[in-house]
Amino acid sequence: MGTWNSRGLRGSTLEEMINRTNEKYREKGLALIQKVPTPITPIKIDKTHHQITLAYFDQKSTVDYIGAVQGIPVCFDAKECDVKTFPLQNVHEHQVKFMEDFEKQGGKAFLIIYYTSEQKFYYLHIRQLLIFWNRAKEGGRKSFRMEELDPVYFFDTDKGYLVPYLEPLSYDLETESEG
């Protein structure tokens, strides 16, 4: 099994928090969101411990989560950042393309970023991500700073939910329909 220092387990704390939140959302009938497994092919297996010790990814993954919230299709990826500047290299081009295509089909696509040093969550909708993404593609900054983000989309653990992302999603839906 990997260690906490291994690259493959980065974000596992955030994902566990989101998984627990998703369970509560499902229990309350608010949303049905599932973790998308990353398809792998095992190469070496430690038969004594029944653990995969070496594997490769079958294909590029899309996003971490997919499902529906009150009849609205949603997909999102979870990212952790330990500084106030988020490197865009943490998001892959195929993920951005998938999220763009998902939105074209009437769904909502976003990132949940957990700024660990600040202990704050951020809901980054695909529209905002594309602004930063396109800026980088045109030779601009390959990252974005917390100060560049709309403060209304920051959120904290609240009301018994570890990662209550339905609140910023709801606000996003309201403001999108107004504009």
Please give the domain boundaries of the chain with CATH numbers for all domains.
7-82+91-125+150-178 (3.40.1350.10)
pLDDT value, residue 80 = 94
Residue 156 annotated as binding site:
no
Q: What is the pLDDT of residue 48?
A: 82
pLDDT of 157 reads 87
pTM of the model: 0.82
Q: Binding residue per annotation — 34?
A: no
Is 53 annotated as contributing to ligand binding?
Answer: no
pLDDT at res. 159: 73
Residue 10: the pLDDT is: 45
Listing DSSP states for the chain in one string gives ---TTSGGGTTHHHHHHHHHHHHHHHHTTSEEEEEPPPPEEEEEEETTTTEEEEEEESS----SEEEEETTEEEEEEEEEESSSEEEGGGS-HHHHHHHHHHHHTT-EEEEEEEETTTTEEEEEEHHHHHHHHHHHHTTS-SEEEGGGS-GGGEE-SBTTBSS-THHHHHHHHHHHHH-
119 marked among binding-site residues = no
Residues of the chain with pLDDT under 70: 1-11, 38-43, 52, 54-61, 179
